[in-house]
Amino acid sequence: MNRILLVEDDKSIVESLSAFLVSEGFTVDTANGQKKAVGLIEEYIYDILLVDISLADGNGFAVCMAAKEKGYPVIFLTASGDEYSVVAGLDMGADDYIAKPFRPRELVSRIKSVQRRYAGPGSIALSKNVNIYTDRGVVVKDGKEVLLSALEYRLLLVFVNNRGNVMSRNRLLEEIWDVAGDFVNDNTLTVYIKRLREKIEENPSDPQIIKTIRGLGYRLD
């Protein structure tokens, strides 16, 4: 997942920068002020925020604080020569800044540089829009957290840890036996796989993440 929240009140910058970032493979949400940005931060999960310090509605510092409470990296977009704001933003926890006007490719390089600093073994892509963050025990689909039961999450981890391998029903039962104190038999395994698919697949009736291998079991590609 490469989901960016762009907080900027200049429409021309929003339109041109959003189009460029999308062409570079990012998913982009936009907010033109503090209130909308904070609301999006509460509703979605982001990989990084690009925040204009000076906003018509509120200010970028408040957005940065909200992002940092969630543990999201932040790059400030600043007016050239605005040294005070840059220092204040960095002291607040911003990860980088870039002065306007900037070259879009330079911004992408800075985004990737910040992401590398945050990257770790805990982030695993299950599909283009579904990620699992094992360090936080969180599954994210289309930027929103997917609520899984303890057993559903454990079942998903079993598939992740055996990615590319066909898992028989007996093997799955052995792996998740009595986790969280629940008795699991062949029938309940069917139910849990169905529930998991309903939560993470785009089309549960035609699963592309957890596939059925007829006569053998299941496989996470």
One digit per residue, the tens of pLDDT, for the chain of length 221 reads 588 999 999 999 999 999 999 999 999 999 999 999 999 999 988 989 999 988 888 889 999 999 998 888 999 998 766 778 878 888 888 999 998 889 999 999 999 998 887 765 567 888 888 988 887 788 989 888 899 988 899 999 999 999 999 999 999 988 887 555 566 788 888 999 999 999 999 999 999 999 999 999 999 98
Q: Do residues 111 and 9 both lie within one domain?
A: yes
Q: Which of 141, 151, 114 is nearest to 27 (CA)?
A: 141
Query: Looking at the whole model, is its pTM more than 0.75?
Result: no
* CATH classification at residue 194: 1.10.10.10
Domain boundary among 73, 88, 118: 118
Q: Do residues 42 and 140 both lie within one domain?
A: no
Q: Do residues 64 and 135 both lie within one domain?
A: no
| Number of folded domains that form the chain | 2
Q: Do residues 64 and 170 both lie within one domain?
A: no
Order of all β-strands in the sheet with 27-31: 27-31, 3-7, 48-52, 74-79, 96-100
Q: What residues make up the domain containing 150?
A: 123-220
Q: Do residues 42 and 8 both lie within one domain?
A: yes
Q: Do residues 37 and 52 both lie within one domain?
A: yes
Q: Do residues 60 and 113 both lie within one domain?
A: yes
